[in-house]
Structures are given as structure tokens and as C-alpha cells.
Amino acid sequence: MTTPNIVWTRIDERLLHGQIRITWGKHSGANLILVANDDAADGPNAAFMQAGMKASAGGEYAVRFFSIQKTIDVISKASPQQKIFVLCNNPTDVARLVEGGVPITHCNVGNMHYHEGKRQINKTVSVDDKDINAFERMVAKGVTCTIQNTPDQKPINVLELATSAV
């Protein structure tokens, strides 16, 4: 077992799309995008979701679709040559990965859209108590969680923003 070469972890409600490939993929130096999401891996619309995301990757990256549990179970078997970009669509899934032993040290938050029951804390990020709890769990495990929509923007601490917006 080796420590996987995780080069970036991002929360984006849209999962894999053009901005990930063009902006964050290049910025991170990744050669593999791991979509860690139960629905994209095994859900009833998984084949449809995967086809769209593979097209968004543009052939520039290897793409894998694993459930949260499978990611926890197999990521330590990754080749050292794999530069892994972990992509989730919510903070609870990232917290589950961290608590399951996936060595994530930083979580970049991109797009978490406004939905009923959430409050907007940033132009592109809205949270509820469940999201804040997940970020708190990650921070307690030593993970830095920052909002940064594009690499040229200054990172903003999620919890500082979320707690000041109460």
C-alpha cells in the first residue's frame, strides 16, 4: 500500500465539466480525475452522467467513477504515477473520504448552489447546517477548506465565512 498522489480535491455541485478540465485540471497537474460520488458511480442514471462527464474531460485525463466507499477501499492501491484530482459534489462526501482514511489535506470549494434551506455565503457557495458540520469534521482532521472558484482568486476560509454569515 502506498500513499496516493492526490494533487487536488474539489467540491463542485456540477461534478466534472469544462471549467474543471480547462482550469483546475491544468492548475493541479492531474492526469486522473476521480469522481467520488455514489450516484455517478452506481446510481440509476450513472451511465448517462458518466458519458457527459467523460465528454467534458476532453480525453485529456483518465476518468474514474467510484462510490465513496470504493474510493476509501481502493485509493491506497493507486499507482504513484497517477496524479489524482478527487472531485465530489458536496462536503459530506469529502468528510466521509477523510474519515475513511483518504489522505486529503486541502479541499477546494467551487460551486455549491443555493437550494431551499441553504444560505448564500459567497457568490458561488451556499451552505446549510449539514454542510457546515461536514466542513467542521474535515477541519478537525487537519483539512484546510477554502472557497476559490478559479486559481487566480484568493482562497477564502469556508468556516470563517460560514460562521460570520450566520
Query: Active-site residue numbers?
Result: 17
How many C-beta atoms surround the C-beta of residue 153 within 10 A?
Answer: 10
Contact of 67 with 92, CB cutoff 8 Å = no
Separation CA 44–CA 139 (nearest Å): 33
Residue 26, SS3 per DSSP: helix
Helix locations, the chain, DSSP H: 18-19, 26-28, 38-42, 46-57, 68-74, 91-99, 129-140, 158-164
Residue 29 falls in which region: left (phi positive, over 0), alpha (psi -120 to 50) or beta: left
Contact of 136 with 99, CB cutoff 8 Å = no
Rounded to 5°, angle at Cα 114 from 106 and 121: 55
Rounded to 5°, angle at Cα 53 from 88 and 77: 55
